[in-house]
A and B are shown apart, each in its own frame.
Chain A
Amino acid sequence: MKTKNYLLLPVLAIAAAFSSCEKDTNTVTNPAPANEEELITTVRLVVFDGTDSLAFEFKDLDGEGGNSGSIDTIVLSSSNTYLYSVEFLDESRNPVVDITEEILEEGDEHLVCYNSTNGLDISRGDLDENNLPIGTVGTLITNNAGNGTLTITLKHQPGVKNGQCEPGETDIEVVFPVRVQ
C-alpha cells in the first residue's frame, strides 16, 4: 500500500511543474502608447475640375473616443463635372500610412458608398477582380446650387460583397456638409 502512495508523488511533481506562475512583463508606470492595430484618422476627398484640384478632409487624430473630429465643408460650383478620388489615411503615424492602398489590394472586400442630399451625381470608376465597383475614384457631377450633405461610407464586406451598400460592417462613415454655388 505504501508504495502506491509514493507513486502519487510524481503526479504531484508534474502538477507543480505545470503551475509556473505567469508574470506581467509590462511596466505600470510607463504605459505603452495606446495603439490601434489599424487606425484611420483621415478621409480626404480630392476633386479636380480640369484645371484646379480641391481637397476636403475629415480628421480625428486621436481616433474613436477622446476629442471629436473636425470636418471641412465641401464647396463646389453648380452644374459642373469633376473627377474625384477619396483617400483614407492614418496621420497619427510618422510617416503617414495610406490605407487606400490596402483597400485597393483587398478591393473584393471593400466598397465606398456615397449618399448625397443635394443631387450630387457620383459614379464609381474602379472595379475589383470580380468586376464589382470599389469607389475610390470616379466622377462627380453637381446640379443646382444649394446646401446639403454628402455621406461617404466605407463598407467592409469580406465574402458578402455584391455591389450593394447593404451587407458588411461599416468601417467609416463621414457626413460632409456640402455647398453647391
Chain B
Amino acid sequence: MKFIYILVLSCGLLAAHAQDTCSYRLEGTVADHDNGDALAFAILLIEPDGKQATADSLGRFEVSNLCQGKKTVTVRHFGCHDLQKVIFINQPLTTLNVWLDHSTHQMEEVVISDHRLSGETGQSVARLEKMELLVRRGMNLGQTVESLDGVSLLQTGSNISKPMVHGMHSNRLLILNNEIRQEGQQWGAEHAPEIDPMLAERIELVKGASTVKYGPEAIAGVMLIAPAPLPSVPSSDLDLFSGYQSNGHQYTQSAKLSGKLNKVLPIAYRLQGTLKRGGTLHTPDYKLANTAMRELNYSWALGYQRDRWQTELFYSRFTTDIGIFSGAHLGNTTDLVRAYSRPNIPDTAQFSYDINRPYQSINHELLKASFQTRLGNLNTLKINLSRQFNRRFEYDRDLARNDSIAALNNPELQYFLTTYLLDVEYKLHHHNHFDGSIGIQGLYQFNTFRGRQFVPNFFQRGFSLFAVERYHWSDYYAEVGARYDVRDFDVYRSTAQGVRNDRRTYQRPTLSLGLNRRKNQLDLGVHIANAWRAPAVNELYSNGLHHGSATIEVGNQNLGTERVWHGSLSLAYEHPLIDFEVNPHFNRFANYISLVPSGQNTLTIRGAFPTYQYVEQAATIYGVDAHAKASLSESLKINLQCLVVRGVDSNTKQWLVLQPADRYRAALLWQQKNTSVTLGVSWVAQQTRYPEQITLVQQNGQILTLNDFAPPPKDYTLLDLQWNWSIKKRGEPVVVSLSVNNLLNRRYRDYLNRFRYFSDEIGRNVQIKLSVPLNLRSK
C-alpha cells in the first residue's frame, strides 16, 4: 500500500455570500500524474457525508449537496489501491484535481493509459465493462458488442458475425486488440474478426472518424479491446469459465491463470485458453445442415517492471473452423433464385459436431513486445512492436471430381497475411492545462495466396506521423489533432501473360477537432474530422466469383482515396435516477468506395452472372443512436435504446446497400442484492431503403431488373430474458447466469445477414454460464 499521490490544487470560486449548511458542491478531475491522462470511472467516496461519485469518461466528477467542514475523500480506481485525501469544504464550489502517481503500480498503467482520451474529445464512447463482459462470455466478438449504442451486426449465417458501426464495417472500422491494430483478412463481409473476446476485460467503442490517433481504417470509429492488466503485487489467481448454449449444444471452456512471482524474480504472468465446440444449429422449424464450429484460442503474457520503465511480451493464437450452411453455396443465379423462392427447408439434416465442406479454417497469431518509460516526471514514451500472422483457408462445397486431386482435400482458397507494426508514442504534459502526444507508426505487410486468386499477392508499406494537443480549462476540454499517412502497395498478380507488378502510393493529411463541456451532469461534445483511407487491395484487385452471393466481383484499379468529412454531437446526462445519451452523426464522403452492379454480365460456364464493380460514389451517411436509463423504483430500471442510420448516394439519390434497418430496444432491469433479472424486447424494422435495380440474368437469357435478389425481410420483434447471480469473492465476482435469446422461438430473417436468402435465423437459445475466480495465493 505504498501509494503516493499528489494533490495538485484545490481552488474554488469565491462565494458572494455564505450558503446554508449542506448545499456545497465539489467537482474536479482524476488524472494520471505520469502522463496527464484522465482516469475514467474512478470512484470517489466522501465521508462523513456518505456521498459517492463516479468520474466520467474524461475523468471528471461532481458531488453536490455537501455539508460544510472537513471531508475525507477516498479515490478508487480500477486496479489501484485506495487513495485518501483530507480536504476542507467552506465554499459553495470547491474544485479538486487528483493526480494519481502509478510509480509502484506500473503494470496497471498499461491499461489505464488506454483510458487516454486524446483523440476522443467530443466523441461518443460506448463501453462494455468487466461485469457486462462476464455475462457475455462464450459469445463471439460481434455478438459481444452487439448491444452497444450504434452497433449492428453484419452476419453470414449464425456463426460468422462482424460489428458494423453507423452502417460501416470491415475496411472502415478499426479494431485494436490489446493495443495492436487487428490485421486479418478484414475486407470480406464473411470474414469475422479473429479475436477471442474471452480475454477482454474492457471493450470501448469510439464512434465517428478517429483516424488521427488510430490511422486511416478508423473512418467509422475504433473498437478497443483490452485485457486485464497483469498483476502488480505477488499473487496467483485462476479464473474458470464454463458455458453451454442449447442451440447447437455449444460448449465453451475457458481458464486464465495470472499472477506475479515474488521479489526474487518479480515477473508478472498470464496464461489463458479457450475451447469451444458447437454442433448443428437450428431455426424454429429445421436444422441448418453443416453449421457446426470449433474454436481453440490461447495466449500468454509476461511483464517486468523497474522504477521508471516496464516491458511486456504478449502472444495470442486464435484458431477456428466454421461450417457454412450447405444450402447457401450456389452454383449460379438460377440456384440463387431457386434458393430464395424455396418455401420450406425440409428438416432432414442430422445433428452433428462434424464440420464438412463448405467451411472456413482460420488461424491468427499475434506477438507483441511493448516498452514504456517515464521521461521526466510527467512524460511517457511508449513503443509497441508486433507481428501478426493470419492464415485463411476456404473450402468449397464439392471436392474436385478427379480422385487424386480430391484425395488431397485442398482448400480452394488460401491466404497468408503477415503484418509487422511499430507504434511509438510520446506523451507530454507541458502545463497544467495542456497535454499532448506525438507519435510515429510504421506498417510492413505482405500477403500471398494459393489456389483461387481472388486478391493477389502484395506488399503494403505504411508510415504515419501524428500530433494531438489537448487543452483543459474550467468546464471545457478542447482538442486538435493532425496526422499524415503514406501507404504504398506493391502488387504481384498472376495472369495468363505471367506475373504483373503494380505499384501505387496514397498519401494525405487527416485533421480533427473536438470540444467537450461538462456542467451539472450534462456533457456536451462536438467532434469534426476530415479523414481518408486508401482503397483496400480487394477494392483494387479482386476479380472472381463470389459463391455466397452468386455475383462476379471486379476490383477497380483507378480508385482514388476515400475522403470524408465527419461531424457528430454527443449529449450525455448522468444522474442516479436518469441518464441518457444522444449521438447524432453525419458523414459526407467525397469518394465512397462501394460495390455496385455494373449493369454488365459476365458469361461463364456456370451461366451469366451479374457483375459488380467497385466504384467511387458521393455518399452521405447520417443517423442517430441514443439510449436512456431511468429508475422506476429502488430496484427497477428501464432502459431504452435506438439506432437509426441512413445512407444515400448523393448524386443519384439512391439508397446505399446493406445499411442497418431502424432498431429499437426496451429492457426492464430488476436488481436486488446479488440477483438481477432483465427482460428485453427488441424491434427491428423492415429495411425499406435499399438500392433499386439489380440486373439478373435468367436461365433463358432473359434479363430481370430487381430491387434486390429478394426483398428485405419483414420487421421482427424478439424477446430476451437474462438472470444473473453474482457474489464478490475477494473482489472478483463469482457469476452464474442464465439467459434466453429469442424467447418466443420466432421465425425471422435479418436484412444484414447474407444468408437471409436461404434460411431463417436460429430459434430459441438458452445459455447457462458459470464464472469462478479462484485465489490461489493471496495478495
Contacts and interface: CB of A to CB of B under 8 A. Distances in A.
B451 A37 contact: yes
B494 A173 contact: no
B606 A65 contact: no
B264 A2 contact: yes
A52 interface: no
Contacts of A30: 492, 499
Given A169-B335, A175-B699, A22 B365 contact: yes
A91 B399 CA distance: 19
Contacts of B403: 102
A149 B391 contact: no
Nearest to B409: A37
Given A23-B389, A31-B448, A68-B602, A173 B607 contact: yes
Interface string A146-181: 000101010010100000001001111111000000
B496 A12 contact: no
B269 interface: yes
B410 interface: yes
Contacts of A34: 451-453, 494
Interface in B671-729: 699-701
A174 B552 CA distance: 17
Nearest to B776: A4
Interface in A1-19: 1-2, 4-6, 8, 11-12, 15-16, 18-19
B418 A24 contact: yes
Interface in B403-433: 403, 405, 410, 412, 416, 418
B458 A28 contact: yes
A69 B601 CA distance: 11
A62 interface: yes
Contact of B446 (A24, A151, A156): A24
A151 B494 CA distance: 33
Given A12-B300, A12-B302, A36 B605 contact: no
A29 interface: yes
Nearest to B603: A68
B492 A151 contact: no
A104 to B, nearest CB: 10
Contacts of B412: 36-37
Contact of A97 (B402, B416, B543, B544): B402
B256 interface: no
Interface in B545-577: 545, 552, 554
A26 to B, nearest CB: 4
Contact of B544 (A2, A21, A65, A102): A65
A38 B401 contact: yes
Contacts of A12: 269, 271, 300, 302
A84 B221 CA distance: 61
Nearest to B493: A31
A156 B453 CA distance: 24
Contact of B329 (A2, A16, A23, A169): A169
B156 interface: no
B367 interface: yes
Contact of A21 (B330, B335, B365, B609): B365
B356 to A, nearest CB: 11
B28 interface: no
A33 B389 contact: no
B187 interface: no
Contacts of A166: 338
Nearest to A156: B398
Contact of A24 (B261, B416, B607): B416
A63 interface: yes
A43 interface: yes
B651 interface: no
How many residues of A sit at the interface, in one of the four size bands?
A: 35 or more
Given A26-B416, A31-B456, A37 B606 contact: no
A1 B262 contact: yes
B666 interface: no
A82 to B, nearest CB: 23
A19 B300 contact: yes
Interface string A98-132: 01001101100000000101000000000000000
Nearest to B401: A102
Interface in B322-353: 329-332, 334-335, 338
Given A69-B604, A69-B605, A64 B544 contact: yes
A8 B269 contact: yes
B315 A19 contact: yes
B298 interface: yes
A32 interface: yes
A167 B249 CA distance: 30
A95 interface: no
Interface string A55-91: 0001011111110110100000000000000000000
Interface string B440-460: 000000111111110011110
A38 B315 CA distance: 38
A27 to B, nearest CB: 7
A136 interface: no
A51 interface: no
Interface string B377-406: 000000000010101000011111111010
B367 A21 contact: yes
A4 B236 CA distance: 10
A64 B604 contact: yes
B363 interface: yes
Nearest to A171: B331
Nearest to B449: A31
Interface string B598-637: 0000111111010000000000000000000000000000
B389 A8 contact: no
A177 B450 CA distance: 37
Contacts of B331: 156, 169-171, 173
Interface string B11-26: 0000000000000000
B436 to A, nearest CB: 36
Contact of A171 (B363, B543, B606, B609): B606
A39 to B, nearest CB: 9
Contacts of A15: 271, 298, 300, 315
A40 interface: yes
Contact of B389 (A22, A37, A41): A22
Nearest to A66: B543
B261 A36 contact: no
B607 A22 contact: no
A94 interface: no
Nearest to B389: A22
Given A1-B777, A22-B365, A170 B332 contact: yes
A65 B554 contact: yes
Contacts of A173: 331-332, 334, 605-607, 699
Nearest to A30: B499
B1 interface: no
A11 B416 contact: no
16 contacts: A4-B236, A11-B257, A12-B269, A19-B367, A22-B363, A30-B499, A31-B494, A36-B412, A37-B396, A61-B496, A65-B545, A166-B338, A169-B335, A172-B606, A173-B331, A175-B700
Given A21-B389, A106-B401, 14 more contacts: A12-B269, A19-B365, A28-B492, A32-B494, A35-B451, A37-B399, A38-B400, A58-B605, A65-B604, A66-B543, A115-B700, A156-B331, A171-B606, A173-B605
Interface of B: 236, 257, 259, 261-262, 264-265, 269, 271, 298, 300, 302, 315, 317, 329-332, 334-335, 338, 363, 365, 367, 387, 389, 391, 396-403, 405, 410, 412, 416, 418, 446-453, 456-459, 492-494, 496, 499, 501, 543-545, 552, 554, 602-607, 609, 699-701, 777
Closest 10 pairs between A and B when the two form their complex, measured CB to CB: A170-B331, A102-B401, A34-B453, A173-B607, A38-B400, A26-B448, A15-B300, A65-B544, A24-B416, A64-B545
Interface of A: 1-2, 4-6, 8, 11-12, 15-16, 18-19, 21-24, 26-38, 40-43, 58, 60-66, 68-69, 71, 97, 99, 102-103, 105-106, 115, 117, 149, 151, 153, 156, 158, 166, 169-175
